[in-house]
Amino acid sequence: MAESTLWWLMTGIAVAVELLTGTFYLLMVAIGLGAGALAAHAGAGVSLQLVVAAVVGGGAVAACYLVRGKRLAGPAEVDSLDVGATVQVDSWNTDGTANVKYRGANWTAMPAPGTAQVTGAHRVREVVGSRLVVEKL
């Protein structure tokens, strides 16, 4: 069996395992294995094939890690669909929170910093955990 065939078989196995587990990094390793197969097709020796596979696969994993890290580093609540929604505050509790009905469930609302605790319609400014930070409309 040709060396390139072994590389392609390992690539296929890595892709199949990635599809079963959902581990995106394993797909990057499969790219490295594919690069090793291409090096074998080009007539490179076994040691060069291993180096090519390691450098390409490791580089792809590192690039994926860096890209995902930058994307996940930002505030998670900025894209919340809840921001800007309107809720009705009927009364405030003694601890400074209010129970509001929103999206068919009971939520805990907190006044935004610097805003008064008044009843009526409020806009959701941000979501902190499972609490709505609201401001008077």
Q: How confident is the model at residue 10 (pLDDT cuts 50, 70, 90)?
A: very high
Q: Tokens 């505050």, residue?
A: 89
Max alpha carbon distance in the chain (Å)? 78
Q: Which two tokens stand for residue 53?
A: 């596979």
Residue count of the chain: 137
Q: Which amino acid is at 130?
A: S
DSSP per position, 40-106: HHTT--HHHHHHHHHHHHHHHHHHHHHHHHHHHTS-TTTT-TTTT-EEEE----TTS-EEEEETTEE
Mean pLDDT of the chain: 87
For 86-136, which CATH superfamily applies?
A: Nucleic acid-binding proteins (2.40.50.140)
Q: Which residues contact 82 (CB under 8 A, 6 or more apart)?
A: 102, 124, 127, 132
Residue of higher predicted confidence among 79 and 135:
135
Find the helix or strand (DSSP H, E) in which 131 lies: strand 131-136
- Which residue ranges make up each domain of the chain? 3-72, 86-136
107-129 pLDDT, tens per residue? Answer: 999 998 888 888 999 999 888 88
59-66 mean pLDDT: 89
